[in-house]
Amino acid sequence: MLKMDNVTKKYRHRGEYVTALDNASVAIDKGDFVSVVGPSGCGKSTLLLMLGGMLSPTSGRVLFGGESIYDLNADDRAGLRTNNVGFVFQTFNLVGYLTALENVQIPMYLAGVDDAIQEERAASLLDRVGLGDRIHHKPCELSVGQQQRVALARMLANDPALILADEPTGNLDPDTSRQVIGYFEEFNQEGKTIVMVTHDPRAAARAKRTLRIKAGKIVASDQSRGQLHVA
Amino acid sequence: MRLRTLVLREIFERKSQLATSFLAILLGITVIVSIKNITVYSEKAVAREMDSLGANILVLPKSATLQNYYAADLQGDTIPEEYVGQLAMSSLQGLDNLSPKLSVPVDIQGRSFTLTGILPKSEFQAKAAWAGAGIFSRPEGCGAMPTLPFAKADKKTLVRQRVIDDLASDEALVGADVVSALSLKEGDRLTLLGQEFKVTAVLPQTGTVDDSRVFAHLHRVQELAGKGPVVNAIEIVGCCQEIAKGLVQKLNSLLPEAKVVTVTQIAESQIKMNHMMSRLSLIFLVIILFVGGAGIANYMYSNVFERRREIGTLMALGANSRLILRIFLLKALLLGLAGGVGGYLLGSLLAVAMGPQLAGVPVLPMPLLAIWAVLISVGLALAASFFPAWRAARLDPCATFQEI
């Protein structure tokens, strides 16, 4: 489903080149649940951004369903994200001036879904993550755990095949972290492919496999529960 | 969820930040609208004042003095009638009507009066004070082509049915004092310089020396007085704006052998006020374009900066650059609309309240200014917001993530 072929990403920082990802190759099958671990600044988020079509590689290719996504223009990549990718962020990235319901409606609005259907589905998704009684609350009126659950509901809005999560439990207490990872396991069981960047070993352990990155290189993988291929 | 929901919610959420930009544009438009509104009504007042005087420019012989404006043609010296033709054939703008006059003293039944030769239509159009007679046309504003005796097509088509157009060489119009002194009425006969005239109209009281005049056809008077093709004065209804722009100087250049005088001193302070208002209006327009535009652009740039994470999130969720551009431009459009409509309403209120004090004229709101106010305001807001919006649309969505 998702493949990186010899991908390298270099940044120019204060006149010097920094290699964020170095000749990385990885294949992720449909239905996988992959955690990506490694020290801060090793290139985990760069990998995630590239898989999400938001950061073009310096060299190499990223394929989604066999299609080289960086051969598409930026707007086509945006369309691909709308219909196929759900993002979850460490800081939730909810829109502060919108209610929980409206936040969940955003991906559906971007996909051109009718107003009434947006509302109905958003309410149903919030209900699924246990926030049926908080749909008209703004993010500042919710706890951090509730905010992340709103973000999960938003991520599910267009029923994406691929979920990309950037440290989804990074700001949460242990109980809420377990709850959120539980949701990820549930989504994975429903057939969604998940790539999750995390610093939390307990969260990483609940993935089907773990990908370790060090200084921009994929150095190891734990394939105890699946078919992760590292080249 | 719609685009407008996204934009309106953000506006109301951060309304205090928007307030400065909104106030800048609101106050700018308010001042422009109020000044323009007062200026227009002040100009109308000047035009009315000029109109009420009839002619506001006189072309006289060099030797003439202007002790009595209404009797300026009674001083004996003459200028050639062909000056009328020169004026009519010139390219000068703002000559609304021309009225050549030749006056000679006459004795009727032992009493002294003035016989004034006129070229019918031009004379009576210039004399707005006589409009009460109801049979003569009144000059209507500025910009009409001068109608002259040799402009046959105009004369025939425009004034065919008017009494004045049928003024024959033996017909006369008499002033109120003459009528009262001689007990005349329409249809009576009157002998002037040995020639009998029929009274075709009795003119109402004007309170000027014209009440002691008898009017007859210019060419007939020239013939009876034995003076040839000359006139004592040419009265001109000049457009006020053109007078202010130097029409008198242009007339002086065209007719160097004549003296051109104006009654602008009567409305001088009003005209000065109009000039000041026009300049102020222009200055404020420039100020609002620069200061208001810079304020809006600054606000939009900081708004984009503050919302980088939100923009990145929207892009990560699938928003394309066109949508981001539309979000910011719709916000600018709403800001411009609100500023334009609010500025028009406040400006009109201010003009109505302050007009009588500032310009000494009553002022009413002008709906046309609403269109201008909104166009300027929206245009300014969109132009000032375009680059910030474009920058937002080109933001790197990676800013959304914690580390890169």
State percent of chain A over pLDDT 90: 47
Residue A81 confidence (pLDDT) above 80: yes
How many angstroms separate the CA of residue B304 from the nearest CA in chain A? 14
Per DSSP, what are the bridge partners of residue B101?
B118, B233
Q: DSSP 3-state assignment of A95?
A: coil
Nearest residue to B397 (alpha-carbon basis) of A4, A82, A152, A5:
A82
Could A52 and B1 be called an inter-chain contact, meaning their C-beta atoms sit closer than 8 Å? no
Q: What is the pLDDT of residue B130?
A: 42
Greater model confidence, A38 or A227 = A38
Quick: pLDDT tens for A7-53: 998 888 778 888 888 888 899 999 999 999 988 888 888 899 899 88
Domain positions in chain A are: 2-230
Q: What is the pLDDT of residue B85?
A: 80
Of B1, B313, B401, the CB nearest to A109: B1
Contact A223, A28 (CB under 8 A): no
What single string gives the DSSP state of each residue in A3-34?
Answer: EEEEEEEEEEETTEEEEEEEEEEEEE-TT-EE
Q: How would you write chain B as a 3-class SS string? A: CCHHHHHHHHHHHCHHHHHHHHHHHHHHHHHHHHHHHHHHHHHHHHHHHHHHCCCCEEEEECCCCCCCHHHHHHCCCCEECHHHHHHHHCCCCCEEEEEEEEEEEEEECCEEEEEEEECHHHHHHHCHHHHHHCCCCCCCCCCCCCCCCCCHHHHHHHHCCCHHHHCCCCEEEECHHHHHHHCCCCCCEEEECCEEEEEEEECCCCCCHHHHEEEEEHHHHHHHHCCCCEECEEEEEECHHHHHCCHHHHHHHHCCCEEEEECHHHHHHHHHHHHHHHHHHHHHHHHHHHHHHHHHHHHHHHHHHHCHHHHHHHHHCCCCHHHHHHHHHHHHHHHHHHHHHHHHHHHHHHHHHHHHHHCCCCCCCCHHHHHHHHHHHHHHHHHHHHHHHHHHHCCCHHHHCCCC
Q: Enter the tokens of residue B234.
A: 């040419």
Q: What is the pLDDT of residue A226?
A: 41
Residue A141 confidence (pLDDT) above 90: yes
Q: Is B393 on the interface with A (CB under 8 A)?
A: no
How many angstroms separate the CA of residue B5 from the nearest CA in chain A? 9
7-36 in B: which are within 8 Å (CB) of A? 9-10, 12-14
Query: Does the reported pTM lie above 0.90?
Result: no
Based on C-alpha coordinates, what's the Rg of chain A?
17
Orientation angle between helical segments A115-128 and A100-110, nearest 10 degrees: 130
Question: For B53, phi and psi rounded to 5 degrees?
Answer: -85, -10
What single string gives the DSSP state of each residue in A43-85?
Answer: SHHHHHHHHTTSS--SEEEEEETTEEGGGS-HHHHHHHHHHHE
Of B13, B312, B317, the CB nearest to A110: B317
Q: What is the pLDDT of residue B146?
A: 37
Q: Enter the tokens of residue A203.
A: 């969260």
- End-to-end, the C-alpha distance of chain A in Å comes to 16
Task: Report CA B105 to chain centroid distance, whole Å.
Answer: 38
Q: Is A18 on the interface with B (CB under 8 A)?
A: no
d(Cα B362, Cα B351) in Å, to the nearest integer?
9
Q: Is B364 on the interface with A (CB under 8 A)?
A: no
- Specify the CATH class of A2-230 in words: alpha beta
Could B400 and A89 be called an inter-chain contact, meaning their C-beta atoms sit closer than 8 Å? yes
B318 CB neighbours in chain A (<8 A) are 78-79, 81-83, 85, 107, 110-111, 158
Q: What is the pLDDT of residue B277?
A: 74
Of A97, A105, A166, the CB nearest to B13: A97
How many angstroms separate the CA of residue A13 from the nearest CA in chain B? 12
Relative to beta strand A16-28, strand A229-230 is antiparallel
- To the nearest 10°, report the CA torsion of B43, B44, B45, B49: 100
A100 Rama sector, left if φ>0, alpha if ψ -120 to 50, beta otherwise = alpha
Q: How many CA atoms lie within 13 A of B397 on its CB side?
A: 28
Q: Enter the tokens of residue B179.
A: 């009528």
- Which residues of chain B fall below pLDDT 50? 122-163, 402-404
Section A199-226 average pLDDT: 80
Relative to beta strand A209-214, strand A193-197 is unpaired
d(Cα B301, Cα B387) in Å, to the nearest integer?
8
Section A68-93 average pLDDT: 89
Residue A227 confidence (pLDDT) above 60: no
- Predicted ipTM beyond 0.90: no
Q: What is the pLDDT of residue B150?
A: 39
d(Cα B191, Cα B264) in Å, to the nearest integer?
39
Tokens 């790197």 correspond to B396
Contact B384, B331 (CB under 8 A): no
Nearest residue to B55 (alpha-carbon basis) of B42, B72, B76:
B72
Could A89 and B317 be called an inter-chain contact, meaning their C-beta atoms sit closer than 8 Å? no
B400 CB neighbours in chain A (<8 A) are 89, 93
Q: Enter the tokens of residue B102.
A: 């030749």
Tokens 């933001």 correspond to B395
Of B5, B6, B403, the CB nearest to A41: B403
Contact B101, B232 (CB under 8 A): yes
Q: What is the pLDDT of residue B378?
A: 94
Which residue of chain A has the CA closest to B394? A74
Which residue, among A64, A76, A93, A126, would best test binding to B if mutated, counting the most B CBs under 10 Å from its CB?
A93
> B68-90: buried (b, 16+ CB within 10 Å) or exposed (e) per residue?
ebbbbbbbeebbebebbeebbee
Element (H, E) at A195: strand A193-197
Nearest residue to A209 (alpha-carbon basis) of A220, A200, A199:
A220
Could A110 and B314 be called an inter-chain contact, meaning their C-beta atoms sit closer than 8 Å? yes
Q: DSSP 3-state assignment of A197?
A: strand
